[in-house]
Every structure is written in structure tokens, then in C-alpha cells.
Amino acid sequence: MLNVDEIRKDFPILSREVNGKPLVYFDNAATAQTPKQVIDTIVDYYSNYNANIHRGVHTLSQEATDLYEQARYKIQAHFNAKFSHEIIYTSGTTHGINLVANGFSSLLKKGDDIIVSALEHHSNIVPWQMLCERTGANLKVIPMNAEGELVMAEYSNLLSKNTKLVFVNHISNALGTINPIEDIIAQAHNVGAAVLIDGAQSTPHVKPDVQKLDVDFYVASAHKMCGPTGVGMLYGKEEWLKKLPPYQGGGEMIAEVTFEKTTYADLPHKFEAGTPNIAGGIAFGAAIDYMNGIGFNNIADFENELLEYATNKLLDIEGLKIYGTSKHKTAVISFNLEGIHPYDVGTILDKLGIAVRTGHHCAQPIMDYYKIPGTVRASFAFYNTKAEIDTLVAGVKKAKIMLS
């Protein structure tokens, strides 16, 4: 069991006020809050270890390098990658996806198929459209149903020997649906296609095992799992990372440079050009330690309780509709009040100190499917409480009265 009162003490921001009211932070799917254990790591790094890594013979540089590489081992262990060089530091999920999309430019030809899902974040759609424009490959889309689930029978129909890549998010950021990625990966592998899973929304709630999933690529952002912004990771199977060309050229990613020919560094450095977010990488490791300290089973149990509680309370409000009603979902509630624009609801909630997201959540195709401009999205984390949900419910009721 998780002691939420104790946990909340770790998050300095949770005790601040917004618009004269105690902050209720329900925008966790956009970014999670940062515990002092992680903040301290960043302060400690800049106070005691700041140096460039992998190049200096001096002590500071070696200490910084050790901390940064230890964090890579933590990430490797957390995701159960076979080798630490299969973990590439990135600036976040978007960077990881672009790195893979760029790499596949040289592997695809006209007539090849790439499959994405209707539940994707824009960052998981646009890079593939760009890739298709460069290569002449076709983009195919797994459709969704009214519950906000992927139609798996259609997926099976889209797969063929022309399918080279499948890209799906593990959990939808707009609706919270948990996609059946084991099945998606197995079916893709049956036709010889590679699979990239966008784990930006899953990693705050579950602990993925990349070997067990047998996934080819898996990407995540530290800031959605209690870490800092501007850092993330790409897991790639060694064979794939060896096959893909480097993404960016620069320092750190080379073995030898002459004007005739440059040879690339070994993994993972081949994909890590330039000075990285060193403090961010170290803090990412600290965030993983922090979340494992609480335990992902405890987190899931607690958040499911919050989800059920909030769903029931919100559905009591007449005219409130929830989008994304799969039985397999995480603690995200996307909703609208009949006849009221989500932006107006969000504005009133903000006056009450409640932070929710409004809009299309970088997932416009989903909004088009439901024929709505957007939703109000409340997304919960393990440091939220039922009392905060009561505040939200009261706020939504108030908004309804004020706006209708």
C-alpha cells in the first residue's frame, strides 16, 4: 500500500497555491511533478560535478561520466534491456521517434507500408508522414472504435509482406487506452515488420520489459515519470541500432574524423552527438529509483482506485460525457459537458486552482473521430488524492452552472 500523505511531502510544488487556492494538479499526462529526491540530484550535479563527459582526463569529468553512465545502467535495468548500449539517451520521446524515422529513410523503398494507429500523438504521426514523403512508402492507419480502442481485426488486414514498420503508443495520451501491444508486436513480427512503441504515457504507470515484449524500439520521456524535461530514452535492439545510420553528426558520435572519411563511434555513442543533458540523464536515473521505491504495482493499484472513484463521481453530473471507455485504461479521464466548450471549463477550473488540460491533446484525429473540438482531460498520478477529485467534481459542477 502506498501512503499518499507521506509521498506528497516529497513534492514541493504540491503545497503551493494557484489563484489563492491549493493547487490540484491533474495534468500529469502532459508532465509529471518532480520529487525533491530528483531535484536534489540536479542541484548536487551542478554544485559538485559539473563537467563535460567522456572526454576529460580530469577528475570532475570522470565523476560526471560515471554518474551519467550509472544512470544509463539504471534505465537498462528498469526496462530490462539486454545491453546498456541498447539504451540511447535522447531529449525525449519526440527525439527518439525522429531518430528511428530518420534511420528508416535508408531502409524503405516505394511500395513499402508503415502502419500507425488512430490513437497516436502528433509526434507519432508527423515523422512517419515525412518518412513516407521521402521514401514513397505508404502510411496505413489502424482504426479506432467508439470506446477508444484499436480495431484489431482491421490491423490484421493491414499487415502484409510489404509492412516494414508498425508504430503504436503503449497507452493513448488523449484517452488513456492501454493498447494490446503484445499482440501488435507478435503479428508484426509474423510478417517480418519492426515495431516501435511510444511509451511516453505507459512509463509513468507500468514497468515495461522490452525483452519479454520482444519489441524492436521503445521510447519514453523522463518528464512524464517524475524526471526533468529535455531528456528521454530510446531502447533499440542491438541488431537494429547497428543497422540504422546515425541521426545527427557532431562530437561524441565519431571514432575517427578525417576529411576523406569519418568512422562512427560504437553504440550507444553513435546516436549521441554533442554534449548531452548530463544533469538530466542523472536525474532520469534518480526518477526511476524514486518510482521503483514506491513500486509500480502500488502505483497501478492506487491510480486505478482514483480512476474508478473519479469516473463514478463525474458520471453523476448530468450532461457529462467521458471519451475513452475501454476496460483497459489508465488514470486519464477525457470529458465534455454537453453544449459547453472544453476551454471554458478549463478556464473556470484554473480559477479554482485545478490544473487540467483542454484541447485536442496533440491527437486531432481522435477528436475528429468523435466530431468534437477537444476535451477536458484530467490525468492522475500516484500523488493525487480522492479529496482532490472531490474538488474537481465540485469545480465541474460550478462550471456547468456558470456556463449553461
Ligand X SMILES: *Cc1c(COP(=O)(O)O)cnc(C)c1O
Active site residues: 362
Q: How far is CA 44 from the centre of its chain?
A: 26
Note whether 124 binds ligand X by CB under 6 A: yes
Note whether 123 binds ligand X by CB under 6 A: yes
Name the minimum Å distance from CB 17 to ligand X. Answer: 27
Q: CA end-to-end span of the chain, whole Å?
A: 42
Note whether 177 binds ligand X by CB under 6 A: no
Between CA 97 and CA 138 the distance in angstroms is: 18
Between CA 94 and CA 98 the distance in angstroms is: 6
Name the minimum Å distance from CB 205 to ligand X. Answer: 12
Name the minimum Å distance from CB 123 to ligand X. Answer: 4
CB-based burial, 225-234: b 16+ in 10 Å, e otherwise: bbbbebbbbb
Note whether 330 binds ligand X by CB under 6 A: no
Note whether 28 binds ligand X by CB under 6 A: no
The cell numbers describing 136, all together, are 514513397
The correct pick among 221, 277, 334, 391 for binding ligand X (CB under 6 A) is: 221
Residue type, 391: T
Name the minimum Å distance from CB 181 to ligand X. Answer: 13
Nearer Cβ to ligand X (173/375): 173
Instruction: Give the range of 1-9, 197-205, 297-305, 308-316 binding ligand X by CB under 6 A.
Output: 197-205
The correct pick among 27, 198, 252, 303 for binding ligand X (CB under 6 A) is: 198
Nearer Cβ to ligand X (76/169): 169
Phi-psi domain of 111 (left: phi exceeds 0; alpha: psi -120 through 50; beta: other): left
Note whether 173 binds ligand X by CB under 6 A: yes
**What residues contact 374, with CB distance under 8 A and at least 6 apart?**
342, 343, 358, 359, 360, 361, 367
Nearer Cβ to ligand X (221/277): 221
Nearer Cβ to ligand X (219/340): 219
Answer whether 174's CB lies under 8 Å from 119's CB: yes
C-alpha R_g of the chain: 22
Q: CA nearest 27: which of 394, 332, 393, 340?
A: 332
Other CB atoms within 10 A of residue 318 CB? 9
Size of the site for ligand X (CB under 6 A): 12
Name the minimum Å distance from CB 248 to ligand X. Answer: 16
Between CA 316 and CA 120 the distance in angstroms is: 30
Nearer Cβ to ligand X (299/396): 299
Binders of ligand X in range 75-114 (CB under 6 A): 92-94
Instruction: Give the range of 32-40, 118-126, 281-289, 321-329 binding ligand X by CB under 6 A.
Output: 118-126
Binders of ligand X in range 345-404 (CB under 6 A): none
Residues that bind ligand X (CB under 6 A): 92-94, 121, 123-124, 169, 173, 198, 200-201, 221
